[in-house]
Chain A
């Protein structure tokens, strides 16, 4: 089943430095390494063409939650065949404004509008730039 799960290897959102204080300073950590995205919280149904991802913000008040969700969504849109319907949401009970964020992420038009915003798109793209490019 988890054929599509291998795609999750994002760079951490707020850059490399802030994460050096977490156990392994060798590498800038990815969302996967931070356990924000875990394999067990990814549901793929190949027959019904659906992909669901639940992500866990590092702290309940994480201000980056929407951005992380948006980045995951964009990464999936770019990486999965068009036939899939993509659903990205916060792991229940792990964020203070869970419902608001989920609503934003589920709203196609708001996602599209967000990606029209070049500043926001820039941040999202930076999150998705592969490690090879960074120094």
Chain B
């Protein structure tokens, strides 16, 4: 007892000391000590108030302020520990202090803010705090931080004491309006908008202050705010716009004020103000009902129409159309409750009155803006669509039929296309176009047989759009359409028409597969194989050429229509048959055609609907057939050396890989497992049982090099890669250790580039998916030892092979963040100074950093971590810079090349932040004689120059000095990209670049006379921009 009293005495002496030192000694740090004392219960808050006593009643306002400041800062840390009684006393004190001298007010507000956070706020206190605040404080004469304090108090109380505040009635709204009126700081405005939003959405009573609340917020509309440079608060104009829009469109009660304001602001000359107004209109149309809009419809329509008819800005036009759609959708709701007047009809009458006649004017002036406006309304709702279509379609159809000029008919057809596409399809109702079905089909079919390419293309688009609406194409129409399309595919040689017909056929085949199977596929097949007969009578070269073009169109079309499983089942056998006859030599298919067939198969694999049925077709038929054909070609090829099968060509094999790989990546787990077993046993144990034909020799080993000519067999390893590296990650690969061993052997011993590269990639693909652990590490260790031995002996004949394996495995590990990847990439860095492999290693960094197309990408389920590039860059850029600095002069270019490969592949955001630091090196790279280095450095600088960081601007002299000579480089690529860079320089701040104007203009005169057209046009663009600099009317 005695001891504790002693302690108390000591503590209170201590407390008085702290208070003295803070208030009189001006030592700010004592506030924290006091707070700690309170936390440790050395004294209570009331004892602190007592100790402050004299200072709080001191005659000097500064001293009083200092006293309140101490109390407030203690409260900020300790408000959670107070009892209700203590809070009550403190609140009474603080409310009293609000009436005190103005120098004290900031501290009082801080204290109040802390107190409002108390969980034990006594009932009624929220109301009393606000009353005192609104009564005694004139918010807008406070400093920025204090104003923010007031808003935070409001926000806090609205969160914790909502019902109490609502009891205040409209007084609360009035108090808020008064405090916020005149606020100018963007940070505080965000808070104020937040409060206003809560008032509107939280069901507070606005009373007679609706207009005041609207006025006090809408005065900022439309917001024009550009943050100061290096703004630490990071508030954007967009943020403010959205916050204000949420307030303004929050309640229909604002409608009578907001809509006139929007109409007024749409007149503005500032595009951003227009856009904001339109987007706000779109937003409020989703909240309002017809009765709020009714009065303003004529005004709104007049503004929207004017904007669409006159604007040159696509953004404004799109925003107008979106707003019009939103308005129409809102009015369409009124049709549902039949007690009200039909505002939709009234509004659409306005629209139709102003737009419809433009569709029929003889010169078709303003046809497009009118059509867009009408389409925007008709896309808004079923009922709107019904009304617009009934009013517009008959006259459009009549127009089309009476016009004779192709250009006009095409325009009308495009307008029709827009209407057909804008029609809302709904399940329960018939398409609104049903009444016009026959006329529309008639127009489309007549246009399809016109000779004008534009008309044909547009009519195919209309046809597709009609097909996508239920009930607009009946069976006989579909049949007729397919006939038309087939005819165009077979006869039309115009590229743009061919492209459009393939697109249209693809879309329709998805919807009407049966018609395509019965009518189109047989015709295409017939034409692909018909040449066998024509060939005999010594056809002229041109005829042969057109025959090939025809076959190419047929093959492309076959791929395009294959999306439904039933179609895939019909089309893929045709394509496989082409490959078979190319292999056996019975049809005279060129190498390009064989490759085109593979591309078509790939496209089918990509686009076919991902069903089990399609999976089966590919798994059961296509993969075995492809593998079978490729193996036959590989194994039997050497017998008939005079005519070698196209299927042993590298280009053909590489075109087959994606077909296999895409298929395997999509297989369901059971089929995937089966594929893994089959392909591994085929390549390891020569098990051909699943291949369709049996014409294989009894003994062969695909992965072993017996003689120098066994490359035909060993290169098929790329097909193995397609199979096993694309399977989903969970699929187990049988005998994987033996497989890895054989792949390693092949990749380190084989001399055939495709074979050893594919083996290395296959190895890498498998390693990437293997689960982490000792097994994986021992595999990598073994491989690493072998590679190191080869790489370290300069006499070794397989150093390139060892390097290739190293590169791909490094990538496989790097992208999955495997800890061993650093060992491998460090080895690559060290190879940059290798006399023999330096250049290969430099280019290897491009492989490392870019997405490869066949293995190790997400599509084939590889383990790819996001941002591995950034990570690699941050961990290794210093190694590169060091390596560069210490390298021999003739080796430096390898480092620069590696650096530019790495930089080019980094995301733009990272480039912008990292390039300034690397600028000295990049400038060096520009003077490096290697054209590849120059090109990649320029390509990597060019996007950064478009939005230059200040570090670049400071280096202007060096940039100009190094880029101008490159505009006459011997390499065309370098000339083009350096001219683009010089063009980009013209966007630098004018006062910085003006001194260079004359020099640049003189230098650019030379590439104006360049031998290459592409260089000349870049030079013209760049030089004209530089001419406009600093010239009146220029910029």
Contacts and interface: CB of A to CB of B under 8 A. Distances in A.
Interface of A: 3-4, 6-7, 16-17, 20-26, 28, 75, 78-83, 118-119, 121-126, 128-130, 133-135
9 contacts: A4-B1016, A16-B312, A22-B365, A23-B363, A23-B411, A78-B1020, A78-B1024, A79-B1024, A125-B1031
A6 B1017 contact: yes
Interface in B980-1035: 1005, 1008-1009, 1013, 1016-1017, 1020-1021, 1023-1025, 1027-1028, 1031-1035
A28 B312 contact: yes
A126 B1032 CA distance: 9
A7 B1020 contact: yes
A129 B1034 contact: yes
Contacts of A78: 1020, 1023-1024, 1027
Nearest to B411: A23
A25 B366 contact: yes
Given A121-B1033, A129-B1033, 4 more contacts: A20-B309, A23-B365, A122-B1032, A134-B312
B1033 A81 contact: no
Given A21-B365, A79-B1020, A125 B1034 contact: yes
Interface in B335-377: 363-366, 368-369
A16 B1017 CA distance: 25
A17 B1009 CA distance: 36
A21 B366 contact: yes
A116 to B, nearest CB: 11
B1005 A82 contact: yes
Given A81-B1009, A125-B1033, A26 B1027 contact: no
B949 interface: no
A43 B205 CA distance: 78
B1023 A79 contact: yes
B230 interface: no
Given A6-B1017, A21-B366, A25-B366, A129 B1031 contact: no
B271 A133 contact: no
Contact of A83 (B271, B365, B1009): B1009
A99 B140 CA distance: 71
Interface residues of B, number: 31
Nearest to B365: A21
Nearest to B1009: A81
A115 B61 CA distance: 71
Contact of A6 (B309, B313, B364, B1013): B1013
B310 interface: yes
Nearest to A4: B1016
A121 B1031 contact: yes
Nearest to B1010: A81
Nearest to A26: B368
A3 B1011 CA distance: 10
A23 B1033 contact: no
A128 B1031 CA distance: 12
A22 B367 CA distance: 10
B181 to A, nearest CB: 35
B1032 A79 contact: no
A28 B1035 CA distance: 19
A80 B1027 CA distance: 13
B1017 A17 contact: no
A121 B1032 contact: yes
A29 to B, nearest CB: 11
Contacts of B1027: 78
Contacts of B1034: 125, 129
A82 B411 CA distance: 44
B363 to A, nearest CB: 8
Nearest to A127: B1033
B312, B313, B1009, B1017: residue with the most chain A Cβ atoms closer than 10 Å: B312
B405 to A, nearest CB: 11
A25 B1028 CA distance: 27
B1016, B1021, B1028, B1033: residue with the most chain A Cβ atoms closer than 10 Å: B1033
A125 B1028 contact: yes
A23 to B, nearest CB: 7
A80 B1024 CA distance: 11
A82 B1006 CA distance: 9
Contacts of B1023: 78-79
A17 B1033 contact: no
B374 to A, nearest CB: 15
A17 B1008 contact: no
A135 to B, nearest CB: 5
B274 to A, nearest CB: 10
A13 to B, nearest CB: 13
A130 B1025 contact: yes
Contacts of B1032: 118-119, 121-122, 125
B312 A128 contact: no
Contacts of A121: 1031-1033
A83 B1006 CA distance: 11
Given A79-B1008, A80-B1008, A134-B312, A23 B1028 contact: no
B493 to A, nearest CB: 24
A20 B364 contact: no
Nearest to B1026: A78
B1024 A128 contact: yes
A83 B1009 CA distance: 9
A123 B309 contact: no
Nearest to A123: B1033
A79 B1020 CA distance: 5
Interface string B405-439: 00100010000000000000000000000000000
Given A7-B1020, A125-B1032, A126-B1033, A81 B366 contact: no
Contacts of A24: 368
Given A118-B1032, A133-B1035, A23 B364 contact: yes
A101 B1022 CA distance: 30
Contact of B312 (A3, A17, A21, A133): A17
A110 B822 CA distance: 70
Nearest to A117: B1032
A80 to B, nearest CB: 6
A135 B312 contact: yes
Given A122-B1033, A123-B1033, A17 B1028 contact: no
A135 B271 contact: yes
Per CB-CB distance, the 6 closest pairs between chain A and chain B, nearest first, are A122-B1033, A125-B1033, A81-B1009, A122-B1032, A16-B312, A79-B1020
B366 to A, nearest CB: 7
B203 to A, nearest CB: 42
Given A3-B1016, A6-B1013, A135 B1031 contact: no
A125 B1023 CA distance: 13
Nearest to B1024: A78
B76 to A, nearest CB: 50
A4 B313 CA distance: 31
A133 B313 CA distance: 12
A113 to B, nearest CB: 15
B280 to A, nearest CB: 20
Contacts of B368: 24-26
Nearest to B1005: A82
Contacts of A119: 1032
Contacts of A133: 1035
Interface in B786-836: none
A90 to B, nearest CB: 24
A62 B1027 CA distance: 28
B366 A135 contact: no
B976 to A, nearest CB: 15
Contacts of B1025: 130
B958 to A, nearest CB: 27
A3 B271 contact: no
A39 B1031 CA distance: 29
A18 to B, nearest CB: 10
Nearest to A80: B1008
A75 B1009 contact: no
B372 to A, nearest CB: 10
A17 B310 contact: yes
